Amino acid sequence: MCGIVGYIGDKQAAPILLDALERLEYRGYDSAGLAVRNDEGIATVVKAKGRLKILYEKVDGGRTLKGHIGIGHTRWATHGEPSEANAHPHISGSSSEDSLVVGVHNGIIENYVELKEKLVKNGYEFYSQTDTEVAVKLVDFYYSKFKSPTKALSKAMMRIRGSYSLAFLFKDHQEQIWTAKKDAPMIIGVTKDEAFIASDVPAILKYTQDIYQIGNCEMACVEAGNVHFYNIDEEEIVKDTEHITWDLDAAERGGYEHFMIKEIHEQPKALKDTYNSLVKDGSINLAKSGLTPDIIKGISEIRIVACGSAWHVGMVAKYVIEDMAKIAVQVDLASEFRYHCPVIKKDTLAIVISQSGETADSLAALREAKSKGVRTLAILNVLGSSISREADHVLYTLAGPEIAVATTKAYSAQMLICYLLSIEFAFVRSEIDSAKYQYYLQQLELLPSSVASILEDKERIQWFASKFSTIHDAFFIGRGIDYAIALEGSLKMKEVSYVHSEAYAAGELKHGTISLIEDGTLLIGILTQNRLFEKTVSNMVECKSRGAYLFAIAAAGHYNIEDIADFTIYMPNIDEHFIGSLAVIPLQLFGYYTSVIRGLDVDKPRNLAKSVTVE
């Protein structure tokens, strides 16, 4: 879950590396470092514990590091505590000047203890607690033996178990950066006189929109204006570039105080763009994904696997698909999917949802599903990601780059795709007629403007957040789709504001949880489903009688809720299948404003990283 960058070209490397790392800091921010080789061939490594700004100040914005080639890293600790010694880059010798190899790493090397023991027997000494230092010295071991970067990387890749993307500077190859990858993201951008490497697109979007993807167990030799690719057998292979349609402004704050609030406000556009990409001339078109009507008719059940907010999307999708298309849906946490020995029928469709397409647990779940011989569909936001290359079918959200760690617009776009799948499955399988089909599409067209109308009233949420910014606990409840939305609202609260929050199916309160309700406890009830309204109200009243302060998010028309709730937000009128996309907006805003009022780093919450590329 770390961020890697690299540059080689005709400009000073350090300022470019720092700029690129700033755009990747959402991937890790407990330490950072640079390795830059000067014109005399000497590589200098500078590292700092803490946020990137500490490293920035240490090298005076890059002005104290001269050279046209370098690599950089921002770390989210896995092996070894956050410290300067454990920060990347790591070196193979006693100093960077006498090291044959300097490297950075994203991922986890599972057998690093075994490799370390063998390297110690061969005379290597270690100064850090990291698995990365082991990888660097393993490459050094093979390079010292074979004097070839391709041979050294190939041999090391055959020995390493786990996930990794690696970038190296070799002392004897001063105009090259070498990379290798397995199950962790890495892209390369090449212009006329320069080349860039990075863990994610936003890092190099400022410099180029044409990128190469490195495949699993592949290597690349990056030179100024050129790149060569090799497989693990050291055979050169040819790759085509992919053009990224995101513009630079999409990866900037654009006048907003934080990325999170910017991305909350970008949801109407993300919804509209995603809808228009899949709905043509009044009908849903899944042709690009290869998901044909015949395939849809042959599916008997659906398994959705995802992590975090994407799992919450899957929970909403379960309710909508089962009600609309009458297909049984199970939703699994990707991190658990492999470990409960899932029983999957051959005519099952496994749907994997991931913003980055690199989520380690989701990728593993995809492979597990494929090993069972079932058809797989991925819902992703990033072109060319690992999951996109391995899934049978892919549908893309058009949310653009999402920088804040806490997802908002990608979540909403994922949910929209699930709605469209529900409608298409229902229609193809004759569960709805043409009139209902068109009605549902018309309702979805209302989503962008409905979200925009809620955002216009955000000051009320800001006021409410200021009133409750000092709370220690919050409880979110709902039934059906509302419960799925409560899960997401609770996650937003805890991940950005550090308030302990839990979400419960409202009917479960009496099975233990109500014992936690006391005077002043904040209870947020989501009440958008008409047939479940009175039942959820009853649960809220039970909590109010025990001292809870009630915040209600209700569908328009249920104005009697004000007789019970202390604070109420009403949703615009829209079909109940889709109203969850509106109800989540106040919850996103509530989490955001609570975090800001508490003086926290809302875009980079402690201990979290945007793309979880390790298990």
What is the per-residue pLDDT for 73? 93
List the structure tokens of 475. Answer: 């409880």
Is pLDDT of 407 > 90?
A: yes
List the structure tokens of 519. Answer: 């005077």
Residues 441, 571, single domain; the answer is no
The number of distinct structural domains making up the chain is 3
CATH number at residue 373: 3.40.50.10490
* Beta strands 567-571; 549-555: pairing state: parallel
Whole-number Cα distances in Å, 150 to 101, 147, 166, 231, 241: 13, 9, 13, 9, 22
Indicate the pLDDT class of residue 124, thresholds 50, 70 and 90.
very high
Indicate the pLDDT class of residue 605, thresholds 50, 70 and 90.
confident
> Does a structural domain hold residue 612?
no
Catalytic one of 181, 409, 492, 610: 610
Is pLDDT of 586 > 90?
A: yes
Is pLDDT of 76 > 60?
A: yes
The mean pLDDT of 340-368, rounded to a whole number, is 90
Residues 492, 390, single domain; the answer is no
Residue 118's domain spans which residues? 3-244
The answer to whether 335 touches 361, Cβ cutoff 8 Å, is yes
The mean pLDDT of 557-579, rounded to a whole number, is 92
Which of the listed residues 445, 478, 505 is the one where a domain comes to its end? Answer: 445
> Does a structural domain hold residue 156?
yes
Residues 262, 195, single domain; the answer is no
> Does a structural domain hold residue 610?
no
> Does a structural domain hold residue 291?
yes
Residues 261, 188, single domain; the answer is no
Range among 29-38, 45-54, 582-591 rated most confident: 582-591
b (16+ CB within 10 A) / e for 203-232: bbbebbbebbbbbeebbbbbbbeebebbeb
DSSP assignment letter at 471 = -
What is the per-residue pLDDT for 248? 65
Whole-number Cα distances in Å, 121 to 42, 112, 127, 156, 362: 29, 14, 16, 17, 38
Residues 468, 386, single domain; the answer is no
Residues 409, 532, single domain; the answer is no
272 catalytic per annotation: no
Is pLDDT of 491 > 90?
A: yes
> Does a structural domain hold residue 302?
yes
Indicate the pLDDT class of residue 614, thresholds 50, 70 and 90.
low
Residues 262, 325, single domain; the answer is yes
Tokens 């390369």 found at: 188
DSSP assignment letter at 400 = -
Is pLDDT of 80 > 80?
A: no
What is the per-residue pLDDT for 218? 95
Indicate the pLDDT class of residue 610, thresholds 50, 70 and 90.
low
Is pLDDT of 613 > 80?
A: no
* Residues paired with residue 198 on neighbouring β-strands, in sequence order: 5, 187
The answer to whether 597 touches 499, Cβ cutoff 8 Å, is no
Residues 509, 381, single domain; the answer is no
Indicate the pLDDT class of residue 341, thresholds 50, 70 and 90.
confident
Give the pLDDT confidence of 414-452 residue by residue, as tens digits.
999 999 999 999 999 999 999 999 999 999 999 999 999
Residues 439, 514, single domain; the answer is no
What is the per-residue pLDDT for 108? 86
Catalytic one of 2, 221, 307, 418: 2
Better-predicted residue by pLDDT, 349 or 558: 349
What is the per-residue pLDDT for 3? 87
> Does a structural domain hold residue 435?
yes
What is the per-residue pLDDT for 611? 56
What is the per-residue pLDDT for 598? 92
**Average model confidence (pLDDT) across the chain:** 92
CATH number at residue 83: 3.60.20.10
DSSP assignment letter at 233 = T
d(CA 165, CA 434): 49
> Does a structural domain hold residue 613?
no
> Does a structural domain hold residue 537?
yes
DSSP string, 101-159: EEEEEEEEETTHHHHHHHHHHTT----SS-HHHHHHHHHHHHHHHH--HHHHHHHHHHH
Indicate the pLDDT class of residue 532, thresholds 50, 70 and 90.
very high
Which of the listed residues 445, 466, 486 is the one where a domain comes to its end? Answer: 445
Tokens 């009044």 found at: 282
What is the per-residue pLDDT for 244? 83
Residues 231, 304, single domain; the answer is no
What is the per-residue pLDDT for 339? 84
Residues 342, 276, single domain; the answer is yes
Which of the listed residues 226, 244, 262 is the one where a domain comes to its end? Answer: 244
Range among 229-243, 385-399, 410-424 rated most confident: 410-424
* Residues paired with residue 91 on neighbouring β-strands, in sequence order: 102
610 catalytic per annotation: yes
Q: Determine what percent of the chain is predicted with pLDDT higher than 90.
A: 71
The answer to whether 154 touches 232, Cβ cutoff 8 Å, is yes
Is pLDDT of 579 > 60?
A: yes
Is pLDDT of 615 > 60?
A: no
Please measure the distance between the N-terminal and C-terminal CA atoms of the chain and give it in whole angstroms. 10
The mean pLDDT of 72-87, rounded to a whole number, is 83
Residues 137, 174, single domain; the answer is yes
